[in-house]
Structure 1
Amino acid sequence: MINTKFLVGSALAAITTLAASGAFAGPAPQPDYQFEKCYGVSKAGTNDCQTATHSCAGTASADNQGDAWIYLPAGSCAKLTGGSNEPKS
């Protein structure tokens, strides 16, 4: 027999998890300063928007992923090793 309390608890946990993950899905809000998109410098899981292989912010699977970008103050991307204003293949 299936334990009813276990089944109800599992269902509630699943609903809570889905609701929480939906709150963070999508692109990061645009900053309120002059910015540029800088590709290839974000850590895994810290990108600000979608990539060619992922659809949401915070979903890059590798450090310095060439198609993952983050917002940086305008003019600072070129100063970073590996930084580019265009996606890398």
Structure 2
Amino acid sequence: MKKTNIAVATAFTGLLALGGTALTTTTAVAAEEKEKCYGVVKAGKNDCATKTGSCAGTAKSDAQKDAFLMVPKGLCDRLAGGSTESK
């Protein structure tokens, strides 16, 4: 393999590694900036289990008090009926 091909392959591999690191860091930060928001879901659109259902998508009614959505931190308090605590 020519020296120029090796240099190009090395540079490309480095860029891929750097891009993967940036993507992982962005995902971790985004996950930390979310919170559970109870009481604002539409029927069947909740993100996780409730007291009455064992998995996502099992909310039986709109605005079910024990069903939540993950929303950006601080948004829940501004939504009508939204609460960061299950009721």
Q: Could you tell me how far apart the structure 2 residues matched to 1:51 and 1:59 are? A: 8
TM superposition score normalised by structure 2: 0.64
Q: In structure 1, what is the equivalent of residue 3 of structure 2? A: none
SS in 1 for 2:63: coil
Q: Distance in 2 between matches of 1:63 and 1:84?
A: 14
Highest CA radius of gyration, 1 or 2?
Answer: 2
% identity of equivalent residues: 58
Q: Deviations over 1:13-62 (max 9, x none)?
A: xxxxxxxxxxxxxxxxxxx4210000000000000000000000011010
| Residue correspondences, number | 57
Give the match's secondary structure for 2:77.
helix
RMSD: 0.7
Q: Residue 64 of structure 1 corresponds to which residue in structure 2? A: 63
The reply to whether residue 41 of structure 1 matches residue 33 of structure 2 is no
Correspondence list, 1:1-89, <5 A? 32=27, 33=30, 34-88=33-87
Letter in 1 for 2:36: K
TM value normalised by structure 1: 0.62
Q: Point out 4+ residue stretches in structure 1 off by more than 4 angstroms.
A: none
| Pairwise CA distance, 1:75 | 0.4
Structure 1 unaligned segments of length 5 or more: list them: 1-31
